[in-house]
Amino acid sequence: MQRVGFVVFPNFQVMSFAAITVFEMANVVLEEAAYAVTLLSERGGLVRSSAGFSVETQPFAGARFDTVIIGASNAVEPVSPGMIEFVRRSMETSRRVAAPCTGAFVLAEAGVLEGRRATTHWLFARDLQARFPGLQVEEDRIFIVDGPVWTSAGMTAGIDLALAMVEGDHGPEVARSVARKLVVYHRRAGGQSQFSALLELAPKSDRIQKALEHAAANLRSGLSVDELAAAARLSPRQFSRAFKDETGQSPAKAVENIRVEAARLMMEQGRHSMDVIADETGFGDRERMRRAFLRTLGQPPQAIRRNSRAVA
Domain residue spans in the chain? 2-182, 197-311
Average pLDDT, the chain: 89
Would you list the DSSP string of 240-280?
HHHHHHHHSS-HHHHHHHHHHHHHHHHHHHT-S-HHHHHHH
Which positions ≥6 away from 41 have C-beta within 8 Å?
7, 8, 9, 47, 57, 58, 59, 60
pLDDT at residue 174, rounded to an integer: 92
The radius of gyration of the chain's CA atoms, rounded to the nearest angstrom, is 22
pLDDT score of 67: 97
For residue 290, is pLDDT > 90? yes
Query: Which residues pair with residue 35 across a beta bridge?
Result: 2
Residue 209's identity, in one-letter code, is: Q
CATH of domain 197-311: 1.10.10.60
Handedness of CA 164, 167, 172, 174 (dihedral sign): negative
Q: How confident is the model at residue 3 (pLDDT cuts 50, 70, 90)?
A: very high
One-letter amino acid at 259 equals: R
Exposure string over 285-307, b if 16+ CB within 10 A, otherwise e: ebeebbebbeebbeeebeebbeb
Is residue 52 pLDDT above 90, yes or no? yes
Q: Does domain 2-182 have CATH number 3.40.50.880?
A: yes
Give pLDDT, residue 311: 47
Measuring CA to CA, which residue among 46, 56, 98, 108 is closest to residue 77?
A: 108
Same topology, domains 2-182 and 197-311? Answer is: no
pLDDT in tens, 231-255: 999 999 999 999 999 888 899 999 9
Check: CB of residue 289 under 8 Å from CB of residue 251.
Answer: no
Residue 117 identity: R
pLDDT per position as a tens digit, 77-123: 899 999 999 999 999 999 999 999 999 999 999 999 999 999 999 88
Give the span between the Cα atoms of 141 and 191, in whole angstroms: 5
Rounded Cα distance, 10 and 142, in Å: 25
Q: What is the dihedral of CA 209, 212, 213, 214, to 10 degrees?
A: 120
Q: Label residue 229 by pLDDT band (50, 70, 90).
A: very high
The reported pLDDT for the residue numbered 88 is: 96
Residue 71 φ/ψ, nearest 5 degrees: -65, 175
In angstroms, the Cα distances linking 231 to 147, 205, 206, 219 are 49, 13, 11, 14
Distances (CA, A) of 39 to 65, 140, 156: 11, 29, 19
Q: Which helix (H) or strand (E) holds 70?
A: strand 67-70
- The band of 305, judged by pLDDT with boundaries at 50, 70 and 90, is confident
